[in-house]
Structure 1
Amino acid sequence: MSITNEPGTRLRGLPIFLIVSGFVGLVAAFALTLEKIHKLTNPDEAASCDFSVIVQCGKNLGSWQGSLFGFPNPLIGLMAWSVVITIGVGILAGARFANWFWRAFVIGTAGAFAFVIWLFSQSVFVLGTLCPWCMVTWLAAIPLFWVATFWTMKNGVWGSKAIKLGETLLSWVVIITLESYLIEAVVAQLVLNWVGTL
């Protein structure tokens, strides 16, 4: 079974969300890539996103956590966010994808969500920083996971038993996303007192 609409209709909300979130994430990844190149070519200069000892991205980019797989993490973002945008544009143009594709997509967003949580924990608890462009990436990745998961549940990708739950959760996705942001903000405040440095 694949997700389809009534004849003559096209999905609008989901693809627009994918395009917008993908664009936001891509901008952040591009900015971080430029900052990494700048740091490599000008190691003695501060990054343009270094606003204070706590709010900065230079320390993150220079750490091993910033190149977890042997290359700068933003390169992953340049590839992954481009895929998200492409999927959104494809759906907007009328493309339909099989359930296996949607399952793979949700697994991918779950991986991104887990990576974001790990990066957040490393940034706050180990490096003692809040990276501005990293936070923009988190801003896009968190709702992407929730929306992709709940939308696929609602549309029967995970079986008929998950449809009702998916409908309910999708209606609460804004609140769930805001709560996710709030948890991060509170944890960062308790550990770093970032508000006091503004």
Structure 2
Amino acid sequence: MPKEACDTQGVSETATEIEAPPRHLALAILLIVGGALGLLASFSLMKDDLALLADPGTKLGCTVSAAIQCGKNIGSWQGSVFGFPNPMLGLMMFTAPVIVGVAMLGRVRFPNWFWLVFNAGHWFAIIFIGWLSTESIFFIGTLCPWCSLVYAVVIPMWLAVTLHNMAAGRYGTRLIGAGSALITWVPLLSLALYVVIALEAQLRLDLISQLFG
């Protein structure tokens, strides 16, 4: 093979390697699984909401005890804070992580502005579920099982996307080191936030006696 052809082939392969973005497999899988579980929880809550509209006396499958149920949450004003049932918001928003995760597996390159907008959606989600969990535990007096699944998937997705953006320098070069160091701690950080919610629920609602009493 002529030397020029070899050089051209080498440059072409190098260019392809440079242009192909990294797959970020763990983040892609987290977004796909988290988005799918969020859709499942939102669909189940929406189905229960419609069942209660049809028959307010319906026994919902998510009812475990007086303190572990979805019915009171669905019927509260907090359950329709934007004027429509909260699960409708979940059905719209949880589609995005699934699509982004699948695209990442295909090595689609998203511009920086897209990642920042995507992250803004996660910031909205984490603030919203933080408020909802507080309202549920301390004011409604319940821990909603399907809502808890939403909390469980939003927390690691928010952490992972935020730290991914920090590590990529999208929030400035000063945060690259912190993002790179903390992104491996997403499972432990998520667990810590799960424990905080569980402790709040236990102290306020005495869940252990509700489950095993």
TM range (shorter): over 0.9
Partner of residue 144 from structure 1, selected from 149, 154, 157: 157
> Larger helix proportion, structure 1 or 2?
2
Structure 1 unaligned blocks of 5 or more: none
Q: How many residues align?
A: 194
1:177 aligns with 2:190: yes
Contact in 2 for aligned 1:102/1:152 (Cα 8 Å): yes
1:68 aligned partner: 81
Superposed counterparts of 1:87-102, under 5 Å: 87-102=100-115
1:130 aligned partner: 143
Matched to 1:182, the amino acid is V
Contact in 1 for aligned 2:129/2:151 (Cα 8 Å): yes
Q: Deviations over 1:139-194 (max 9, x none)?
A: 00111111111111111111221111001111211111100000000111111111
Partner of residue 34 from structure 1, selected from 35, 43, 47: 47
Partner of residue 172 from structure 2, selected from 159, 175, 196: 159
SS of alignment partner, residue 94 of structure 2: helix
Contact in 1 for aligned 2:46/2:87 (Cα 8 Å): yes
RMSD across aligned positions (CA): 1.3
Structure 2 unaligned blocks of 5 or more: 1-16
Q: Deviations over 1:9-28 (max 9, x none)?
A: 64122211110110111110
Q: Percent identity?
A: 40
Contact in 2 for aligned 1:124/1:191 (Cα 8 Å): yes
**Cα 1:6/1:60, change in 2 over 3 Å:** same
SS of alignment partner, residue 143 of structure 2: coil
CA distance in 1, matches of 2:157, 2:194: 13
Matched to 1:84, the amino acid is P
Q: Deviations over 1:42-94 (max 9, x none)?
A: 11112221111000000000111000001000000001001111111112122
Matched to 1:37, the amino acid is L
Moved over 6 A (4+): none
What is the TM-score of this pair, normalised by structure 2?
Answer: 0.88
Partner of residue 57 from structure 2, selected from 13, 25, 44: 44
Contact in 2 for aligned 1:10/1:92 (Cα 8 Å): no
1:192 aligned partner: 205
